Structure 1
Amino acid sequence: MISELFVQQLYSVIDMAIIGRYLGARELGAVGNAANIIMLFLVVSGGFEMAVDVMVSRLLGAGKNKEKAAMARDTLFLSAISGLVLVVIAWISLPALYKAVSLPENMVGDALLYGRVYLFALPIIYIYDVGWAILISNERAKISFYLLATSSILNLLNLLFILVLQLGVLGSALGTVLAQGITMLVTLYLLAKMDRQEEEPVSPKPDLSWTKIKSILHIALPTIFQQFSITFGATLVQACVNPFGQEAILGYVAIVKVMNLARIVLVGFAQTLTLMTAQLLAAKTYSAVKAVYRYCSNVSLIYWLVSSALSVIFCQLLAGMFFDPGQNQAAYSFFRVYLYAFVGIQLFSIFKFLNEGLLRSMVLMKEYLYYNLGELALKLAATWLLLTPLQTNAFWGAELGARIICVLGSTILVIKEIQALEAIEKAG
């Protein structure tokens, strides 16, 4: 799972690196801003992925194979319908959204072109993402990794479109859409083949009854709301960065990509914890939950030590993937200071992600939302308060402070929940 997430994030980084190094600073700033807006529409897919992860894993742990296959099928159809609806909303709202985040006028044209081409493929992306999650929750992580690796390789079509055909940011969007479209078709084929191999194959006709939709949305909606809120918060932060000019935008776009890549291992262990705990709870093997949490946290801490040391040593090299540090010294200064602060942010992120993973598997979605939205509110408020006295340092300072406070709260809740599970097992 970590390998899959790494490859998924890596081709996003490569995409930005190609744009920054071969097209220029203006294009990188435009696509970086467009990517934040695009994520507002991709979070719905993340909600359906989480519904598949939790519900299919639980049914798998309970041995209900036919119900498991039907749940996966229905979630896939519901996500495709949602993607079609959001295409229209995205196409109409993009200009207003770019204006709202104070995108510099010279970047609007490229950002609009990139965003509309990318978002036109929302149904394709939704089907591919949910299909990928179905494979993982059915313990076919190796197959899903091969699919993701194939998609990443196909995404190198960007080089053809940008360097050979000279299509600019349009070429970058087309390369990504084509790669996801081809991989989506292969994913659907593999899902159909997997269903035929079941002892009790289900009908391909979806059951989108209100009862079934409610059961899917019970998990999907809180996750969608949480991811939308976080993405919206990131968009608001980007709107605060934009008035500082092109250098600050460059530094911020670059550091966000590096941070997202560095978090992959932590997110991977958190998702693994979600899947394993869901199965353990369904099988009523409560004592193993604590052991899995401890293992994931220990390995994550080792990763944090190694990755932090490497990121500090190779700071200039990391920035150089996106822009020339010599020519963009102000951008590099912004990048370097934020990267050093990220060492502390990443330490607390270990327990943020693991705590979230445990709460999701226990379907404690209300508590899951409280801590996520609480952190977001604290971060935005702190950014606003610190912006005048600290200038660009307000961005990392607010993120670090909010993360520390909310991790402490979620850790207390997780300890109580694990203790309650242990008490139930001892009593039973």
Structure 2
Amino acid sequence: MTSELRRKVWSFSLPMICELVVQQLYSVIDMAIIGRYLGARQLGAVGNAASVIMLFLVVSGGFEMSVDVTVSRLLGAGKYKEKAAMARDTLFISAISGLILVVIAWISLPALYKAISLPENMMGDALLYGRVYLFALPIIYIYDVGRAILISNERAKISFYLLAASSGLNLILNLLFILVLHLGVLGSALGTVLAQGLMMLVTLWLLAKMDQQEKEPVSLKPDLSFDKFKLIMHIALPTIVQQFAVTFGATLVQAWVNPFGQEAILGYVAIVKVMNLATIVLVGFAQTLTLMTAQLLAAKKYSAVRAVYRYCSKVSLIYWLLSSVLMVLASRELAGLFFDPVQNQAAYDFFKVYLLAFVGIQLLSVFKFLNEGLLRSMFLMKEYLYCNLGELGLKLAVNWLLLAPLGTNSFWSSQLGTRLLCVLGSTILILKELQRLEAEEKAGV
């Protein structure tokens, strides 16, 4: 692998990883504040609310991925005017989608909480938190897709600064609203909405400024032809379906956890936050792989695609080893961020066993995330969807079958086994596609 490619991997990945770290670290700190200063009941309520909220946030993730792939490809092909127009139109569609989903979210929230068997004593706090948070969906969509546009235009540092500022402001507002004004879970939701609203305005200003600096600035008026809409949705829709299915699966698992009682809920909320934080580096390299290989594939540099994949795998495996050792050694301290391991011994036992299993799950995730990144950049969206939905469906089925004999151990055991099958399947698909592309190159197609 050339030094230029290696440098580009780090120039893409470091800002994205730092951005994801800040995002997840804020989430962990937010939950820690709720658990430590408001109590176990409020932590359980917000943890359940967060799993349902994610069902509506996945749409934003789909449009972010569409921007990543389409804008990166146009940039690699030197089509700067088309690149700017694609970014503008994707941002517009995401904003309209956010407005529509606000209504759906507001109406459906109570039924969704009942469907996941949310304990009655947590219902009030969960409804208050969820409705305030979800009311800001259009703001969140514009903010997230706007930062994705900056990243795909190789301005990842600016996106990181925006997220760092948003998370810092969010944390300050949460402390003010919860500890000083005593607004409870309402304060936590308000802090998030206000911080992201302000950063959305800054993001739009930066995008307008970037457009003015282009050689061929485009009109602000959307131009949504059917072909362009189809291209945007070709990437966004499978990603939305995949992320929705994964999030729905996580919500369903939360529904299976809830009947085990408050201790199990505490342990599960805590381990989910720790796992999300631990996978950030892997997700960062997977997104880097998507962006870089989209450009390399457009230029038909297939040997460079293999080199970038191998390098990202190597770095990810080193990270897996170091992070696994640290997590196992600091399991009690990690759990202590969210609840008292002494007072909640059953919650800690659940947390610790899951954390040990997560070492194996994380190893398989190295290749799961990288394979997904490569499938996206190859425009193999159906295959990408099959791998994800296949793993999810099998995991839920196995989890359900093991609930009675294994109890809470069914949650980690089903995830570990099905992830192995997903990695094997996606690896076979990628090898076949690379062989096909290289054969076409040799034949001069």
What TM-score does the superposition give when structure 2 sets the normalisation length?
Answer: 0.95
Question: What does 1:234-273 align with in structure 2 at a 5 Å threshold?
Answer: 234-273=250-289
Aligned counterpart for 2:109 among listed residues 94, 99, 104: 94
Question: What does 1:30-109 align with in structure 2 at a 5 Å threshold?
Answer: 30-109=45-124
Counterpart check, 1:19 vs 2:56: no
Q: Specify the alignment match of 1:393 in structure 2.
A: 409
Q: Specify the alignment match of 2:363 in structure 1.
A: 347
Amino acid at match of 2:182: Q
Counterpart check, 1:364 vs 2:380: yes
Q: Secondary structure at the match of 1:322?
A: coil
1:409 Cα deviation from its structure 2 partner: 1.0
Q: Is the 8 A contact 1:54 1:360 kept in 2?
A: yes
Unaligned runs of 5+ in 1: none
Q: Is the 8 A contact 1:154 1:179 kept in 2?
A: yes
Question: What does 1:25-424 align with in structure 2 at a 5 Å threshold?
Answer: 25-156=40-171, 157-424=173-440
Q: Specify the alignment match of 2:8 in structure 1.
A: none
Distance in structure 1 (CA, Å) of the matches to 2:435 and 2:45: 49
1:405 Cα deviation from its structure 2 partner: 1.0
- Of all paired residues, the percent bearing the same amino acid is 84
Q: Specify the alignment match of 2:21 in structure 1.
A: 6
Distance in structure 2 (CA, Å) of the matches to 1:190 and 1:209: 26
1:211 Cα deviation from its structure 2 partner: 2.4
Distance in structure 1 (CA, Å) of the matches to 2:124 and 2:301: 56
Distance in structure 2 (CA, Å) of the matches to 1:386 and 1:10: 32
Distance in structure 1 (CA, Å) of the matches to 2:226 and 2:433: 32
Q: Secondary structure at the match of 1:182?
A: helix
1:415 Cα deviation from its structure 2 partner: 1.7
1:427 Cα deviation from its structure 2 partner: 3.7
Distance in structure 1 (CA, Å) of the matches to 2:103 and 2:39: 30
Q: Secondary structure at the match of 1:139?
A: coil
Distance in structure 1 (CA, Å) of the matches to 2:183 and 2:433: 54
Distance in structure 1 (CA, Å) of the matches to 2:395 and 2:69: 29
Q: Secondary structure at the match of 1:243?
A: helix
C-alpha distance after superposition, 1:348-401 (max 9, x if no partner): 000000000000001100000000000001110011111111000000000001
C-alpha distance after superposition, 1:257-306 (max 9, x if no partner): 00000000000000000000000111221210000000000000000000
Distance in structure 1 (CA, Å) of the matches to 2:321 and 2:414: 23
C-alpha distance after superposition, 1:123-148 (max 9, x if no partner): 00000000010000000011111111
Aligned length: 428
Distance in structure 1 (CA, Å) of the matches to 2:98 and 2:341: 39
Distance in structure 2 (CA, Å) of the matches to 1:149 and 1:342: 28
1:9 Cα deviation from its structure 2 partner: 1.2
Unaligned runs of 5+ in 2: 1-15
Computed over aligned residues only, the root mean square deviation of the Cα atoms, in angstroms, reads 0.8
Distance in structure 2 (CA, Å) of the matches to 1:64 and 1:30: 48
Distance in structure 1 (CA, Å) of the matches to 2:369 and 2:436: 21
What TM-score does the superposition give when structure 1 sets the normalisation length?
Answer: 0.99
Amino acid at match of 1:386: L
1:423 Cα deviation from its structure 2 partner: 2.9
Distance in structure 2 (CA, Å) of the matches to 1:304 and 1:200: 44
Amino acid at match of 2:207: L
Is 278-287 or 346-355 further displaced after alignment?
A: 278-287
Distance in structure 1 (CA, Å) of the matches to 2:100 and 2:228: 20
Distance in structure 2 (CA, Å) of the matches to 1:77 and 1:312: 45
Q: Is the 8 A contact 1:358 1:414 kept in 2?
A: yes
Amino acid at match of 1:313: L
Distance in structure 2 (CA, Å) of the matches to 1:423 and 1:136: 32
